[in-house]
Amino acid sequence: MSADQAAPGTKQAHTRGLSRRGLLALVGGGAAGAAVGAAGTAAILAAAGGSDERSHQLSYPFYGEHQAGIVTPAQDRMHFAAFDLAEGLSRDELIELLQDWSYAASRLTQGLEISVAGAFGGGAYMPPDDTGEATDISPAGLTVTIGFGRSLFVTAAGDDRFDLASKLPSEFEDLPKMMNDFIDREQSGGDLCVQGCSNDPQVAVHAIRNLTRIAFGRAQLRWSQLGFGRTSSTSTAQNTPRNLFGQKDGTMNLKAEEPDLLDAHVWVGANQGPLWAVGGSYLVARRINMSIEVWDGVQLGEQERVTGRNKKDGAPLSGGTEFSQPDFSAKGEDGALLVDERSHVARVHPDNNEGIRMLRRGYNFVDGNDAQGRLNAGLFFVAFVNAPERFASVHKNMARDDLFVEYLKTTASSVFLVPPGVSDGQYVGQQLFEA
């Protein structure tokens, strides 16, 4: 972030600033920050990822038909947070919070500070509005994606706190319990979520930290997760990364360059509704612990059988190259199937799941270690789909007897509805509140 291009008092990137409550939460006031904007070259630069100069200058528009952070080329880092709304919060106060978040996010994603006063412009006698740690290193491809939990519409106890129960889409259900689920409810769910992704970890953390600060008194952090090393490509311009099992991950993912498939599998369509949610998507987040120490003792051939793909280049075991389609009927000289029926790829492939596809956008995590010295590591799995039930049906097929499952333990699970994008001056979720 550097000097602000928009003079105080003129029309900023936004027509409105933070609400009085948002400003009170910051206890500050004042002016700074400069948009860098380089969306045109975004996809190419995103392929580089990492922390070079160019990936730091990258910026994606906050406004648009869909929220950023879904088909946007997956960045290198993630900070994901879920929030519970304060007891007694009114509908108007909830709207105000979403307005404040949208305003702040639209600035942060352009390399500006959260408010015009920013980190240094509020004067020596006020706490700064912006916490300042992203100064000089943002926007770094930051995207801020805001989602709604089912409890926003109606709580588990049936409480319609914000007069939204009638707007709840019938598809919006939490996932059923899967085999090997050991779900910590405190680390799952929430009324609201914010997914912050960036090519710089500090920029992602700065975004979540400052949005949490703005929400003070209105929403409280329920759980959060840091992620590093994207485990998917969401653009054909990106290389396929590797996950903590050392596998190429994201090969067959849906990509930004496949709009028809995104319409069919990711975006809530006009035929599904409700109208306010059209162009949105369901975000499924699963915190999957991976027994990496056990995996590391498994022979390479077995690791490949479990996955159904060659570990070095990611090609299916039925032959070809990384992007070849697996042939599930191909057999070797011994008459055995080349791609095991219980391999991960066989279990989750669309051919074996009524054609269902999803856009995966997960990140690796390592959160310290246990008393035995094993890393608390895994995949913070994120997928975008147009109905949670479609995701659940693929997952059930996997959880049933996928060879992979022996090495995995899911400890948190959440579903959020990410509303469609909005245009400049609007706030995320406006379609819902005005429906």
H-helix segments, 61-194: 91-108, 150-153
Question: In terms of CB distance, is 230 or 309 closer to ligand HEM?
Answer: 309
Question: In terms of CB distance, is 46 or 379 closer to ligand HEM?
Answer: 379
Is 345 a residue that touches ligand HEM (CB under 6 A)?
yes
In the shown chain, the binding pattern of residues 276 to 295 toward ligand HEM, with x for contact by CB under 6 A and - for none, equals ----------x-x-x-----
Cα–Cα distance for residue pair 99/263, rounded to 1 Å: 28
Shortest separation between residue 383's beta carbon and ligand HEM, angstroms: 6
Stretch that binds ligand HEM, among 149-157, 248-256, 293-301, 331-339 (CB under 6 A): 248-256
Those residues whose C-beta lies under 8 Å from the C-beta of residue 66, and which sit 6 or more positions away, are 267, 279, 280, 281, 420, 421
Is 76 a residue that touches ligand HEM (CB under 6 A)?
no
Q: 45, 85, 379, 428: which one contacts ligand HEM (CB under 6 A)?
A: 379
Cα–Cα distance for residue pair 387/211, rounded to 1 Å: 28
Q: How many CB atoms lie within 10 A of CB 391?
A: 20
Is 151 a residue that touches ligand HEM (CB under 6 A)?
no
Shortest separation between residue 349's beta carbon and ligand HEM, angstroms: 4
* CA 283 vs CA 64, 175, 371, 381: distances in Å: 18, 12, 33, 10
Question: In terms of CB distance, is 267 or 381 closer to ligand HEM?
Answer: 381
Question: In terms of CB distance, is 195 or 251 closer to ligand HEM?
Answer: 251
Whether the CB-CB separation of 131 and 202 falls below 8 Å is answered with no
**Token pair in block for residue 135:** 């100064």
CB burial string 307-334: b at 16+ within 10 A, e below: bbbbbeebbbbbeeeeeeebebeeeeee
Q: Say which amino acid occupies 45.
A: L
Shortest separation between residue 60's beta carbon and ligand HEM, angstroms: 23
Q: 26, 58, 252, 418: which one contacts ligand HEM (CB under 6 A)?
A: 252
Shortest separation between residue 234's beta carbon and ligand HEM, angstroms: 11
Whether the CB-CB separation of 385 and 358 falls below 8 Å is answered with yes
Which stretches of the chain bind ligand HEM, using CB under 6 A? Answer: 243, 245, 247-253, 286, 288, 290, 307, 309, 344-345, 348-350, 358, 379, 381, 394-395, 398, 408
